[in-house]
Amino acid sequence: MRIITWNINSVRARLHLAEQLIEEAKPDILCLQEIKCTNDQFPAKAFEEAGYPFQAVRGFKAYHGVATLSKFPLSDPYTLMHSTIDDGRHIAANAEIPQAGSVAIDNYYIPAGGDIPDREQNDKFGHKLDFIDAMTNHFTDKKGEDKRILVGDLNIAPLENDVWSHKQVSKVVSHTPIEVEVFTKLQHALPWVDAMRQIIPASEKLYSWWSYRARDWRASNRGRRLDHVWITENLSPKLKAIKVLDHVRDWEKTSDHAPVQADFEL
């Protein structure tokens, strides 16, 4: 099974890029974040024609929104708010995989958190922390379940080598100590295995996002690892490969995030 997660930054504006990615990488499951459209605006027919008849979508007008597209049947789809703000940041469903059984897929778009890392001065930062706390409580209640995958733009780069400069980014939202602390607590809730770092050692630099502000993003390479794939311990031995498809960041008018691809032998 091949699963790809990608913050596409508007599925309607970049539908042709999603189709190009599908043609090139041929994922069995494609999880998109920041689709920026309501459910009725989502290009469901185009993805069905591309080979993904099974779809679980949680759209939101103009902002946010997530979608899971699958070649395998999806059962029991549901969405969680994780806060008092209903802004389309989660969709879950069970992928029914022949001869392998059911695999739960959680697709998340965690709030970015604004620019000031202080909940008293910045409501968006408080919303981010509360959202992650609610996720932690949710998955603590899921202990003992196997075959679960969490993917998405989680908007936190937790490790020193997940950012271009730990010293310079440690006061920037996405890599602050308080975010790393709540993020680590979330990882331990199930517990989750960081699939990307299972394959690529924490001693190596690893990014999935590069700002649009850099004229030559490859030359500056000031990236952050904001996009993640987490798996339950039962799936850890079945993970065979993982990589950031950073060449997609070179495509014309692409997202500032690159897709992350994970391959499993189920």
Q: Under a CB-based contact definition with an 8 Å cutoff, are residues 128 and 111 in contact? A: yes
Sequence ranges of the domains in the chain: 2-264
| Longest CA span, the chain | 52
Tell me: the pLDDT tens digits for 53-112? 999 999 999 999 999 999 999 999 999 989 888 889 999 999 999 988 999 999 999 999
Pick among 3.40.50.300, 3.40.640.10, 3.40.50.720, 3.60.10.10: CATH of 2-264: 3.60.10.10
The answer to whether the peptide bond before residue 191 is cis (omega within 30 degrees of 0) is yes
pTM here? 0.97
Res 4 pLDDT > 70: yes
Q: Give percent above pLDDT 70 in the chain.
A: 99
Mean of pLDDT over the chain: 96
Mean per-residue pLDDT for 184-194?
Answer: 95
Average of pLDDT values for 131-159? Answer: 92
